[in-house]
Structure 1
Amino acid sequence: MATFSKTGFKTINYNSFRPRYPPSFYEILSNYSGNKIGNSLDIGCGTGIATYDLLNISDNVEGVDLSPSMIKTCNDLIKERCESLGISDFKRISFNVGDLDNLDTLTEGKYDLIVGAQCLHWSKNFDQLFKKIYKLLKPNGVFAYWYYVDPIVTNASGKNDLQTLEKAKQIYFKYMYDDENLVGPHWEQPGRSIIKNYYKEIDDKIPSMFKDVKINNYEVDLKNFKKPTEGEDLVLVKENINIDQLFNYVSTYSGLHNYLEANPESKVIEDYANELKSETGWTEDTSIDLVWNTGYTLVRK
């Protein structure tokens, strides 16, 4: 999480290139909650990618994040994002600097819904976090957390040639994880290992005081590819996009940011792009479909 808090981290790029969570997922949250959602809290809210859309299912929403630059981006976007949602009362949403491992300034028993989007793997003490979340929730309140990791190319210009798609996946993993001279060693741990392991370490820590536990994981299988299912999975898909959008997304990785700080002369994204195009025959005109591995967990107080 420290990487996203650095002053040199480009939060506008993060906000622009990260995928948005679809309306179908907020329907999952709303249906699971079952009751009217008055107050919601988004911990580790980043640039508010999830926070604003919570206004569609909640009367009031608060976001907290450790990074002052992320919070500044959130506050700068309030008017624009609220108006895009058809919301005129900007006071329904607020953002403040706060650490997901130190939520003591928040009001206990206030929230109908607390969410952690793409952030729980940064916590240093899951037992403590679950206990604090429990205290912050109203009776029957819901804690929902979710993640996504590693976009997989499932189609290129209408072709799903398995050999080429597997080659593209192999090159991605080489640059992001497998080659010790590239990005791999620069991920902050254990966070990245937790998210790559589909949050199992976190789910195993869910205390018995929570009930109605629902865990869903979706993993891309190129050999027997099936799209994620709306209403069941967290569906993160971008179809018919320019290949450069893949490189723009990868450019938001904290591991890449750390690598470039240590190797400022490196052109690792350019090298990745050139090798991918060379080995697959893809060009700037190639349109691709990206599907992310995802998962979510819902629990009730």
Structure 2
Amino acid sequence: MATFAKSTFSAASYATFRPSYPASLYNAVLAYHRGPKRLCLDLGCGTGIVTREMSKHFDRVIGTDPSAGMIKQARSSIEGDKQYANVEFREGSAESTPSIGNGEVDMVVAGQAAHWFDYATLWPEMKRLLRKDGTVAFWGYKDHVFVDFPEATEIMQKYAYDPHPDMLGSYWPMPGRSYVQDKLRIIKPPSSDWEDVQRVEYEPDTKGKRSGEGTLFMERSLTVGETKEYVRTWSSFHGWQETHPERKARSKGGTGDIMDDMFDRIAEGTEYFRREDNVVNIEWGSGLVMARRK
């Protein structure tokens, strides 16, 4: 999680521009769950998006994250709000939560965090924390797609994964990014302790809205300008930014950064992207993995 501790990282921007999750995703997770809903643990909680939502369904929810900045942002999101009186945020790793006793947890969730975990250590800790028949539900999303603009999507992918040091490809934290790109198929709960493993996936296409394959959970309409700010929350961008400190975004008074370059290139071939207030439809490929504690 080193990306989120970097000086270039803004937890506030992450909270503003990162996508949230629809009711259909939470409904799928809750429908899978069996038994009591006393305590839910949200690993890699970030700014608390999932933690706050799960608090509507559980007596207590604890969100943990190794980033002090994320926890600070998460705590500020519930400060003084009585509807979140059952929510607590703690700084800590997913692989060790010694403050929670054996079998106390009914459900463990992780939204866009599971690709960071050390599973050799994580699975024994999940076995310890969860009661019998308790639920693990991890989900994540890969790159977004401009569903109405295949050329724009192709250019974005070129900038995102070209290994040249002036592009973004060499700055993705690995192997975590490859896990997300593969829709979390790397996550395989050990059969000795887990059962009824279920996977739900979606792969978007560029033939219009909902033209992809699988179960769509994540879609959003953003302006071109908002989309540019969203891609600046990519972990690869923060690595690029550290090695190109002289390149500042035009929106911040600079001459332009890699994201300005990328959107300029897109606008050359797709006139619609020349106006930052034009709205584009985007969808994310996603993977959801659920399992029960034996």
TM-score, length basis structure 2: 0.90
In 2, Cα distance between the equivalents of 1:152 and 1:38?
38
Q: Is the 8 A contact 1:153 1:291 kept in 2?
A: yes
Distance 1:225 1:76, change over 3 A: closer
**Aligned-pair RMSD on alpha carbons?**
1.9
Partner of 2:112: 118
- Which residue type is aligned with residue 216 of structure 1? V
Partner of 2:251: none
Shift of 1:6: 2.4
**Matches for 1:191-202 after TM superposition, within 5 Å:** 191-202=176-187
Distance 1:62 1:258, change over 3 A: same
Q: Structure 2 unaligned runs (5+)? A: 248-256
Shift of 1:78: 0.8
**Matches for 1:279-294 after TM superposition, within 5 Å:** 279-282=269-272, 283-284=274-275, 285-294=277-286
Question: Is 1:107 paired with 2:98?
Answer: no
Distance 1:174 1:119, change over 3 A: same
How many residue pairs match? The answer is: 281
* DSSP-derived class of the 1:202 partner: coil
1:151 to 144, 150, 163: 144
Partner of 2:159: 175
In 2, Cα distance between the equivalents of 1:190 and 1:274?
30
Query: Could you list the per-position Cα deviations for residues 204-238 of structure 1 after superposition, in whole angstroms to 9, with x for gaps in the alignment?
Result: x5433211110111101335863579xx8351111
1:238 to 184, 209, 220: 220
Shift of 1:89: 4.9
Partner of 1:221: 205
Partner of 1:10: 10
Distance 1:5 1:202, change over 3 A: same
- Which residue type is aligned with residue 243 of structure 2? A
Partner of 1:277: 267
Partner of 2:237: 256
Partner of 1:166: 150
In 2, Cα distance between the equivalents of 1:126 and 1:189?
15
Shift of 1:7: 4.0
Partner of 1:130: 123
Q: Is the 8 A contact 2:8 2:242 kept in 1?
A: no
* DSSP-derived class of the 1:51 partner: helix
1:184 to 161, 164, 169: 169
- Which residue type is aligned with residue 5 of structure 1? A
Q: Is the 8 A contact 1:144 1:297 kept in 2?
A: yes
Q: Structure 1 unaligned runs (5+)? A: 156-164
- Which residue type is aligned with residue 233 of structure 2? T
In 2, Cα distance between the equivalents of 1:95 and 1:135?
20
- Which residue type is aligned with residue 138 of structure 1? R
In 1, Cα distance between the equivalents of 2:49 and 2:115?
17
Partner of 1:158: none
In 2, Cα distance between the equivalents of 1:59 and 1:94?
12
2:91 to 94, 97, 110: 97
Q: Is the 8 A contact 1:60 1:92 kept in 2?
A: yes
**Percent of matched pairs sharing the same residue:** 30
Q: Is the 8 A contact 1:25 1:234 kept in 2?
A: no
- Which residue type is aligned with residue 105 of structure 2? Y
